[in-house]
């Protein structure tokens, strides 16, 4: 109890940290993604928190808070084109070619994807003299041909950036494997992760989705298309990365599995009690207490009908009378006796 109190005092919730750093929630989220502000896991399992020392460090930086806000400023196509001194059409071409990488996206009221870019990165791109041929004049023929074929690297580049952010948030091997799996279609995940218990564990550790739309809504489906790899090269790379991450996770520890029932006569000293619905071992259901156990059989218990007795009773006068008595009782009261094999 005291340890949790000390932890809560030494850290702040994300909302409080955003207020103390004088950032809007959107700006604060980007600050976390970019590593401008570092967060730590909540020991109580309540998400992530920001250490008090980290808040003090950021507040002590030169130019706070204006410099921090400028580092996390995100702009759309129109404002980004104005920052670079190009038309919106040229800016979109540069983005589709993957020369400028989006840092965030959202859906507007018309369910159109709006990509956002870091203003600082756009200014750096425009200031680089090597990029001057791309800022004016005709687009090189090779690049123009790819655009005409429908090339659009914005979703793929965003996924790569998003995965990097998620991987920086954890050192746990299984959680890192879950990050990679979250970008693949479930069919690809099932082909790589053949163990169903491992797939369930990865799904449990799956990062929170980026869309706040209702499940199965049009907005959620659009967001799912963006967050799922669709390029063959990207899929191949992610599949290989998932396989490697899975091997590292297995070496660290196995995925959780159901605990098997303790066998009879276990070292703990406790005797396993058979289920009331399960016949006693070595004696068929409905057989008299003195009957001998049946001979071993090669048939697997799982292959028998659910309600059939494991073996037919031995043919003895005593067992015959028992069966006739049981049959008479069932006719009088079907629920009075358990079913037996004919």
Q: What are the two backbone dihedrals, phi and then psi, of residue 114, each rounded to the nearest 5 degrees?
A: -110, 120
DSSP labels, 109-135: TT--EEEEEEHHHHHHHHH-GGGHHHH
**pLDDT value of position 263:** 56
Q: What is the pLDDT of residue 213?
A: 82
Q: What is the pLDDT of residue 277?
A: 42
pLDDT of residue 43: 79
pTM over 0.75: no
User: What is the rounded distance in angstroms from the CA atom of residue 9 to the CA atom of residue 7?
Assistant: 5
Instruction: Spell out a b/e string for 217-254, using b for 16 or more CB atoms within 10 Å of the CB, else e.
Output: eeebebbbebbbbeeeebbeebbebbeebbeebeeeee
Q: What is the pLDDT of residue 320?
A: 52
Distance CA 29, CA 106 (A): 14
List, as one string, the DSSP characters of 185-217. Answer: -HHHHHHH---HHHHHHHHHTPPPPS--SPTTS
Bond from prior residue into 65 cis (ω within 30 degrees of 0):
yes
Dihedral (Cα; 124, 125, 131, 133), 10-degree rounding: -110
| pLDDT confidence of residue 49 | 95
Q: Are 129 and 86 in contact (CB under 8 A)?
A: no
- Cβ–Cβ < 8 Å for 227, 234: no
Name the stretches of the chain with pLDDT < 70.
1-9, 262-342
């Amino acid at each position: 109890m005291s340890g949790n109190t000390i932890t809560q005092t030494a850290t702040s919730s994300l909302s409080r940290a955003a207020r103390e750093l004088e950032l809007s929630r959107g700006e604060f989220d980007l600050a976390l993604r970019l590593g401008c502000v570092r967060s730590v896991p909540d020991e109580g399992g309540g998400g992530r928190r920001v250490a008090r020392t980290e808040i003090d460090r950021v507040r002590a930086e030169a130019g706070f808070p204006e410099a921090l806000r400028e580092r996390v400023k995100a702009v759309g196509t129109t404002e980004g084109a104005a920052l670079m001194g190009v038309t919106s059409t040229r800016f979109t071409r540069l983005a589709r070619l993957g020369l400028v990488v989006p840092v965030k996206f959202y859906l507007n009221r018309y369910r159109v994807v709006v990509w956002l870019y870091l203003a600082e990165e756009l200014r750096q791109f425009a200031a680089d003299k090597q990029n001057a041929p791309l800022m004016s004049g005709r687009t090189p023929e090779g690049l123009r041909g790819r655009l005409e074929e429908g090339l659009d690297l914005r979703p793929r580049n965003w996924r790569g950036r998003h995965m990097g952010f998620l991987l920086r948030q954890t050192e746990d091997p299984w959680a890192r494997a879950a990050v990679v799996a979250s970008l693949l279609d479930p069919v690809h995940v099932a082909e790589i992760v053949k163990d169903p218990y491992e797939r369930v564990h990865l799904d449990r550790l799956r990062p929170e989705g980026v869309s706040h739309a209702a499940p199965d809504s049009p907005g959620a489906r659009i967001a799912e298309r963006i967050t799922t790899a669709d390029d063959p090269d990207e899929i191949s790379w992610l599949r290989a990365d998932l396989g490697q991450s899975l091997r590292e996770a297995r070496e660290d520890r196995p995925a959780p599995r159901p605990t098997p029932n303790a066998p009879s006569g276990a070292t703990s000293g406790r005797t396993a009690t058979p289920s009331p619905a399960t016949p006693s071992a070595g004696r068929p259901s409905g057989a008299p207490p003195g009957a001998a156990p049946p001979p071993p059989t090669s048939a697997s218990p799982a292959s028998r009908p659910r309600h059939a007795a494991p073996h037919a009773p031995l043919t003895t006068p005593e067992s015959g009378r028992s069966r006739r008595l049981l049959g008479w009782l069932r006719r009088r009261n079907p629920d009075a006796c358990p079913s037996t094999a004919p």
